[in-house]
Structure 1
């Protein structure tokens, strides 16, 4: 009986394939069209930053918001996961929304750079918004 059980488990394990070469996934940034921020931040308050981004094709799905800090500058990029199956992607250009929370912890101002795509020279384009911090 044990031999049959081991044989069945071995057969099930080796007959299933977890890799599907017809489904390819990768990460791809999606352009941010607009960002809604307050005119000013109050120190130590939390704010919801609302973004409108472009979903380029039916194969793109929201994955994450990447948020990088450098001094008082914040670079924000929306990352999508692209699911390609036999090249059946349709162009969409649909606008969707996402948001993240931000807490102003330093005096002065913050400069937000929201990734909007690339220009003709393949240089990154950013929507840049500066927001002062009030005490």
Structure 2
């Protein structure tokens, strides 16, 4: 019985993995892009909403802004990364100093200071690097 089950699963796996998905469709993937600089207030007021600007270099003409990866690590620590869609379509052209700016709104809901960590890529040893801002909140 185990041999029959194994043979059935192996056959299904072979059928699924042997099918070609090359139907001419453009393949896209998400890619985190290092943040170059940030415009953020030096302090917040409780209950207000602030626009935060993030600047990054668009690497190729096959990259386009998708969204922010925004992670609330704790009640007052936020990690932010720029996410681009990257088309694996042929012939991407590398861009030199193609600076892009995107913004997001942040609502201040707590009186404790907020820490923002903006992703800047990885260092030589593969560790994540961040621009870190601690923003105090006025009541």
1:73 is aligned to 2:77: yes
Residue number in structure 2 paired with 1:49:
52
> How many residues align structurally?
116
Residues of 1 paired with 2:24 and 2:133: CA distance? 43
The RMSD of aligned alpha carbons is: 1.5
Unaligned runs of 5+ in 1: 1-18
Bigger proportion of residues as strand: 1
SS at match of 1:56: coil
1:125 is aligned to 2:129: yes
Post-superposition Cα deviations, 1:55-94, rounded to whole Å, max 9, x if no partner, equal 11111110011111022110001100001222x1122141
Post-superposition Cα deviations, 1:3-42, rounded to whole Å, max 9, x if no partner, equal xxxxxxxxxxxxxxxx425x22111001111111111000
Residues of 2 paired with 1:110 and 1:26: CA distance? 31
SS at match of 1:85: coil
Please report the TM-score for the alignment, with normalisation by the length of structure 2.
0.79
SS at match of 1:57: coil
Residue number in structure 2 paired with 1:59:
62
Runs of 4+ displaced beyond 4 Å: none
